[in-house]
Structure 1
């Protein structure tokens, strides 16, 4: 009898806790892509946004995101070995990144990729990410968008 009463009380407390707190989660998983004359790029983002509504208290808001930016050379990969100065940058509404190689004596494929994760702002589906690539006195500029 005491065991049944304990289970019943525990179940009742769980229902009260669930009713007092409501969580809504939105996912913002997008792949932005685009290309210029010589380079192409892809920005893959996996983001979540949580709204936690606690009855009688101020609601909480949490975000988390992981993203990968990858730049690709459209020509012969052996041409990357001949690059001496190289710089790229990308910028969206939530931030961006860059990489500069001086006296590079070639560019390795691993230097064309950037990863980040954390909390805070993230790109939305209608965002545009601007990419600028400069190497050995040349420049390529283009935009990344979500392809629908």
Structure 2
């Protein structure tokens, strides 16, 4: 019995030493990648190892931009994916959030007669819309909507997001594309 415990102890010590060397190499590669990365990262990955489990985390950070004659929009998307497992079973979890910012390109005075605004977006995995009524003239020309999900489908970096804007008898549609493409 002593021999088994001694062997297990030696294996644990040797495994721990090997992990430090691997982490050193991984950390060196990660540092090089971080130094070469732009301010807005597209995808980043990190790995952690625990007893009999291994997980990999991927961060997604995309900005989709586009405009029409009267409007411009930015769809900011951030997501985290975690893949894990213990050799027998693979696990996956994710969480994400987005902010759609819509901006009128003209002056605020041009919107002073606006009574209704409706805007919508559509991706391959989701869609949303927002309606606003203005009994008084709007005080800003920037409009936002946002949302989030857990363990849902995720927006891809090659996504084309369709935006539609209606205001007081006018309507414009346009597409948003990943600004890093």
Same fold flag (TM > 0.5): yes
Q: When the two structures are superposed, what TM-score results if normalisation uses the length of structure 2? A: 0.67
Which of 51, 60, 81 is residue 83 of structure 2 equivalent to?
51
Structure 1 residue 39: Cα displacement: 0.5
Q: Is the 8 A contact 2:83 2:91 kept in 1?
A: yes
Which of 44, 53, 62 is residue 30 of structure 1 equivalent to?
62
**Which residue number in structure 2 is paired with residue 61 of structure 1?**
92
Deviations along 1:53-93, one digit per CA (max 9) or x if unpaired, are: 2222x211101112111000000022223201211001112
Q: Which has the higher contact order (CA 8 A, sep 6+)?
A: 1
**Which residue number in structure 1 is paired with residue 30 of structure 2?**
none
Q: Is the 8 A contact 1:50 1:62 kept in 2?
A: yes
Q: CA RMSD in A?
A: 2.7
Q: 1:42 to 1:111 in 2, by over 3 A?
A: closer
**Which residue number in structure 1 is paired with residue 31 of structure 2?**
none
- Report the 3-state secondary structure (helix = DSSP H, G, I; strand = E; otherwise coil) of the residue aligned with 1:124: coil
**Which residue number in structure 2 is paired with residue 75 of structure 1?**
106
Aligned residues, how many?
Answer: 139
